Every structure is written in C-alpha cells, then in structure tokens.
Amino acid sequence: MINQSVRIFVITFQRPHLLKRALSSIISQTHSLWVVEVINDDPKDTSVKNLIDSLGDPRIRITSDVKKRGGTGNFNYAFDHKINEKYACILEDDNWYEPAFLEEMLHYMKVNPTIRLAVANEKIWYEESNGCWTYSNNTIWPVTEENELFEFIAEEKCGDAKICNSSMFWKTEDSLWLTPVNIPIDVTEHFRERAIPHPILLITKPLVNFSVTLETYRKKNNDWSVYQAILIASVFENIEKNEKIELAQALWKKARQTNKLYSTSLMSASLVCSSSSILFNFSSFKEKLRFFLTILKRPFLFYNCIRAKKNKKEAWDFLLSNWNTTNNSSRSINIKKTTN
C-alpha cells in the first residue's frame, strides 16, 4: 500500500440520507490513509454534523467555516483551500466510490508522475420512486483494458467536458484551477477543464458511482444554452483561420451524427462573435430554417447569445485567458494515447 494521505472534499446540501452512503463508501476504502472535510452548503442543517458524530470516525470532520457558498463556490473551495495532503479529490453527496478508488488512483498517479490530474470512469445509476437505485449497465466512457491520455484538442472543448467532479483525483501543488464563481454548477467541469494542465489521465475502469436523482439541483434552461454557445465560440476566437474551417466542418459532422440539440448549440455559438460565425456558413438550409423556428419560440436565446460576450464577460474572459496555447490542436479526430 502507498503510504500517502489523501484529502477528500465531500460536498453536501440537504441530502443526509445520500451523504451517509457517500461517507460509508469512503470508510470502506482499501486505502485507509485519508482525511474527509465535509462542506455543508446549508449552515442551518444540523443533520450533517449529527451524521458525522454518529459515524464516530475521527478522519471525518465538517469544515470549520460553514457557510452558503453555492455549488460553484464549494468546488472552488476544494482547489483554493490550502491543505497539507499531496493529493485530493471531491465527492458530491449523491455519488459514491468503489472500494478501490483511492488505492487505484494513487497507483496510477505514481506510475504517471508528470500527470497533474486523473479522472476515473463512472457507473451510472438511476433513482427510483420507491427510493431504490437501479444500475443502468452503462458507464460514462467505454470500459477498456488500457487507460488514455486526454490531450488538449480544440474539438473536445466545444461544449463537452471530460472531467467529472466526483471522479477527479489531483496533485494539490499549484492546483489553483478556479472557475468564475457566478457560472452555473452545470458548466463548472467545462470551465475548469480549460485551466487544468493537459494531458489528463483517464482511468477507464469504473471506480465511481454516478447517480441520476429524481430531484436534481442542476437545471438546463436558456442560460445553459448560452453557456454552451460561449464555450464553443471561445474556441474559434483562439485558433487560426484555416483551423476554424477544419473545426467547423468537424463539429457539424458530429452534430449530424448525434442529435439536433448540438446543432442548435452550434447555431447559437455562431451568434456570439465574428470568429464563430463560420459555423453559420457551414450549416445547411434545413439547419438554418430549424434554428430560425427555434428563435421564434425562444427569442431571448437569440438576444442572449448576441449579448453573451458583454453580459457574461467574466466567463468569456476566463475562457479566452485559459486557452492552452502550447498544447492545443484543432484536429478533428482525437488520436488517443494509452498508458498503464
């Protein structure tokens, strides 16, 4: 066993029954050198402290500064908080670890010393109305025998995120990878991924359980669509003209092979800035017509995308300033590199 302590930030908000499952999965870890700091986002909720006291494990404590930070602020706390441990990770209260999570993540970080952050695969579970949980038999990524090195590639930054909050494992030295505090929790992974040094190590074995709850605090609305638009548009702002053409073609190919929602995201992104307007040029007549009908139903989407650079200036500036100029590429195909 590797003699290395790990700090685990457990983030919770008014879900003590799920928090107990999350903490139990940590107590059951095969690697026993860890410290848990529970971040309670509801200062008035005493059930969190009561639960911790009932577990009677001195390795688990509630953060000394209990206050309402919001989801995005809590994630930033984990990266901005000075700690003694060399490694850290986050666990949201509705998710839980497989018993070997810490042991295996430590192992892979040790054998890949240049990697700053690794992400494990996740099993997807659904909550039923009777309180039971059903395994979907699906994982976030395909399960393969070899792990992958995820490079900084332009296409992969266009509205997608590879990192997952509850399956990240990172070196704490120089890890001030903060996001704008006013962005929705839904896009914290997308924004933080821009700031994290690449390559990121992807552990294809599922070591974390991701839950889809009946009631979620994440909401997809008009604001979500605008953030997707600026995530895509900001990429075009950072690459050369010939790369813009290649990237636009690759993104439209992807949209036509996946779903119509991504087509709407591309059309919305074309409104954000002149650099991304090339996406409109590569759309078909049918796609233009469909987007026009979408605008008629959701006129504020058109207005908010046009005004996104100004209305979401902090988020826009963050995306532009956190472009990895030394490692990025606009290859339309991500050539995967494997590692042990």
- Reported as a single tens digit per residue, the pLDDT across 22-64 is 999 999 999 999 999 999 999 999 999 999 999 999 999 998 8
Is residue 3 within a helix (H) or strand (E), and if so which, with residue range?
Answer: none
> What architecture does CATH give domain 6-212?
Alpha-Beta Complex (3.90)
- Determine the Cα angle at 165 with ends 160 and 166, to 5°: 135
Cβ atoms within 10 Å of 21's Cβ, excluding its own: 16
Q: Which amino acid is at 238?
A: N
Q: Is there a contact between 12 and 41 (Cβ–Cβ < 8 Å)? A: yes
Residues lower than pLDDT 50 in the chain? 328-336
- Reported as a single tens digit per residue, the pLDDT across 97-125 is 999 999 999 999 999 999 999 999 999 99
Give this prediction's pTM: 0.91
Q: Where are the alpha helices (DSSP H) in 85-164?
A: 101-111
| DSSP secondary structure string for all residues of 216-246 | -S---SHHHHHHHHHHHHHHHTTS-HHHHHH
Cβ atoms within 10 Å of 226's Cβ, excluding its own: 24
Q: What is the pLDDT of residue 125?
A: 97
Terminal CA-to-CA distance of the chain, rounded, Å?
Answer: 18
Burial 65-86 (b: 16+ CB within 10 A, else e): ebeebebbbbbbbbbeeeeeee
Q: What is the pLDDT of residue 2?
A: 79
Q: What are phi and psi of 252, to 5 degrees?
A: -70, -35
Q: Where are the domains of the chain?
A: 6-212, 222-339
| Residue 248: closest CA among 266, 230, 260 | 266
Q: What is the pLDDT of residue 322?
A: 93
Q: What rounded mean pLDDT belongs to the chain?
A: 92
- CA distances 163 to 90, 108, 201, 202, 275, Å, are 12, 16, 10, 9, 27
Rounded distance between C-alpha atoms, residue 6 and residue 250, angstroms: 40
Is residue 62 within a helix (H) or strand (E), and if so which, with residue range?
Answer: strand 60-62
Q: What is the pLDDT of residue 330?
A: 42
Percentage with pLDDT > 70 across the chain: 93
